[in-house]
Structure formats: structure tokens, C-alpha cells
Amino acid sequence: MADQSVLKNMTFQEAKELQFRLIEEVTKEFKNNEFFQTGDVGLHPAYNRPLMTAKIESVLAKTFDSEACALVRGSGTGAIRNILSVLMEPGEQCIVHDAPMYTTTKETFRLMGLKQKRVNFNDPAALIKAHQEDKQSKVFYVQHSRQQPNDTYNLKEVISLVREHGRNLPIVVDDNYCAMKTKEIGIQCGANFSAFSGFKLSGPEGIGIILGGSEIIQQLHDRNYSGGGQVQGHEAHELLISLSSAPVMLAIQNEQVEHLCSRLSEGEVSGIKQAYITNSQSKNVIVEFEKPIAEQVIEMASKFGAATYPVGAESRYELIPMIYRLSGSFIESRPELRQHGVRINPMKSSANTVVHILQNVMEEISRG
């Protein structure tokens, strides 16, 4: 039986189809070779944001089956903060999963003074009961990727349960690490809004993407009236170029994650207790060592060519494989992994490259 904690990525064929769909929407939005113009800046009179930005927002909305799209500053964190700030007032309550919250999301809740109604999304009965009894929450918030190793909830099923039972709360999905990887994102599963980072999809620094209903998205645009707060046309243009190759590139990466896990599980590298795939936050391989050597492995891995800290967790800069500490939320749920576990993402490399690096690291450690 497949591990329900691991999200299913698109197949290579599905990734190609998403790429083709994106480009088809580009051909509908841009005519007469205008896509070769890299974009305008400032507040275009018709949109109060750059014309190129507005046109690319339209392309992304149609690609992801959404009414509207907003490109915002602050990457995925900025996208989440922006949409929550439109939907909620400071001090209001939000339903969230009963699990360690991603660090910057936790800070967003602190900044806005938002109260958390914690519910175990892995338990459908508990979710239904809590949602039916809740009379105060203004938003239902769910993270698409896993917050802890034992998460098994299915995003589409969670959204369906919320829709069928209780009040019709707006549903916001954090689709970071899942957009252009899974076949459907939150908005396509019935949520009201999806928020994620363009930087994690090889886009330029600092651009967040929000998809959702046109009325709320327009409110967001109205609030972001300042010219300095806009994603300028040339930045939106660069983002779209990057997104065009992201699905296939991520499908290849997913393939190598699975190859790596299989090879490590078969014992190609000594000193490993077990290896398994998680979505923490990106889909990667968690390696647990027989001895508490995680910090040594990370330090040594850099000497053999691996990256040992992220830039944006799958950003355009991250070509080489990354061997680094586990996410804070995972360590919070399993503290013993701080000394025994590392997280490995092949990025644009092959599983073969990662195996060679680990073999060199373990040989060096064994020599003392």
C-alpha cells in the first residue's frame, strides 16, 4: 500500500500537459509578437498596475482554473499574508491543522493577532464535529504539503468535508511546494484561494501568487495601490518564462527523489538506518543514521559539493543537491531527528550524484 503521508506528484506526461496548457493560454492573451516586449512599469490607468503584470495574472488564472490572480511582493509568505489580511480582521479566529505551523505562517498569525482553532485534519470525524460546532472562525486554512511526518489527510477530501458540513467559510490553501507538482492545487480542489511562491518555481526573487475569486482579488489589488508595491511588468514576464519549464523540471526531480530513496533503502550507503520520502516541505528523502552524526554529515557534505542550506527551497539558484537539516516543524514533532536525520533534495542533479556524495561523506566520517 502506498504511503498516504506522501503526496502524489504529476506524471511526466501530466507535467508536459500543464506546460502546454500554460503556453496555450499565453497565445490567447498575447498577440502580434507582444510577448517579446519584456513589460512596463508603474500604474497603468486601466489596471492600476503594470499592463504586462495584469496580462500574466490573467494567463495564470486561466491555467489554474481560477477567476482571478494577483502577483504580490513577499513570495509565498507575502501571498499568504495578503490574502488573510483581506479575509480577516486582526484578532479574528481561523481553523488550522493541529500540528506545528510553518515558521513564517506562524509569524503571520502573530502579526495579525489571529486566534487559532486547532483541529486534527487527519481525523475526518473530528474535523466535521469541530467545523459544525465552530461559530467564530472566519477562515479555514490548510497547508497542502505536510506539517508533520504522520500527516495523511487528502486535501480534496478535507475541502469537500468543510463544504458539506457547517458554515460556508472561505478556504485558503497554502500551495507552497505543491504548485506545478501535484495534479491539482487548492483552487482546483474546491478551495476559494490558493497562495504560493513563484520563487520556489524558479521565478525571480520575492514574487507571490494568489489565485481565487475575482471580488476578493480586486480588493487586494485596490489595497495595493502604491506603485512601489507592484510586481513590475518585466518581473511578471520573467516569472512566466520560468514557470513554463517548471512542471517538467519538477517531474524529473520527483523521479530522482524516488530513485534515491530506493537506492539508499537497498543499502548502497553504509551507516543508514532507514530512508523514506516525505513532503517536508518539498518532496525529499529523509535519511536516518544509525549514529547521531547528522551535523557531521551536513558539514562534510558541503566539502563534497552539496548545498547545506536552502536559498528558496527549489529556487532557480538551487541546481546542486541539498543535504541539510530537517524542517523546524518536523523536528518539533520528532526531536530525536535533530541528531539522527537529514533531509536530501537532489534538485537538478541525479540520484547517482547524491549517492556518490554520501558515500564519500560516510567514508570520511568512518576514518575519524
Task: Indicate the length of the chain as a whole number.
Answer: 368
At 341, is the secondary structure helix, strand, or coil? Answer: strand
pLDDT tens-digit profile of 67-114? 999 999 999 999 999 999 999 999 999 999 999 898 899 999 999 999
Do residues 68 and 157 share a domain? yes
pLDDT band at 2 (very low <50, low <70, confident <90, very high): low
Do residues 47 and 155 share a domain? yes
Last residue of some domain: 191, 217, 245? 245
Last residue of some domain: 245, 266, 290? 245
Do residues 215 and 287 share a domain? no
pLDDT tens-digit profile of 304-325? 999 999 998 899 999 999 999 9
Tell me the C-alpha to C-alpha distance, in Å, between residue 346 and each of 3, 92, 102, 107, 285: 21, 41, 22, 29, 9
Mean pLDDT over 30-53 rounds to 96
Q: What CATH number does residue 295 fall under?
A: 3.90.1150.130
pLDDT band at 155 (very low <50, low <70, confident <90, very high): very high
Do residues 282 and 212 share a domain? no
pLDDT tens-digit profile of 133-150? 999 999 999 999 988 888
Do residues 260 and 163 share a domain? no
81: its cell numbers: 499574508
pTM of the model: 0.94
Grid cell 459544525 in the structure block, residue: 132
Last residue of some domain: 196, 211, 245? 245
Tell me the C-alpha to C-alpha distance, in Å, between residue 314 and each of 178, 246, 345, 346: 11, 10, 9, 10
Alpha helices in the chain (DSSP H): 12-29, 51-63, 75-87, 103-112, 124-133, 155-164, 214-223, 233-265, 294-303, 328-333, 337-340, 351-366
The Cα 263–Cα 198 span in angstroms is 32
Grid cell 539558484 in the structure block, residue: 317
Does 1 have pLDDT greater than 60?
Answer: no
The Cα 180–Cα 186 span in angstroms is 12
Q: How many domains does the chain have?
A: 2
Cβ burial, residue 66 (10 Å; 0-12/13-18/19+): buried
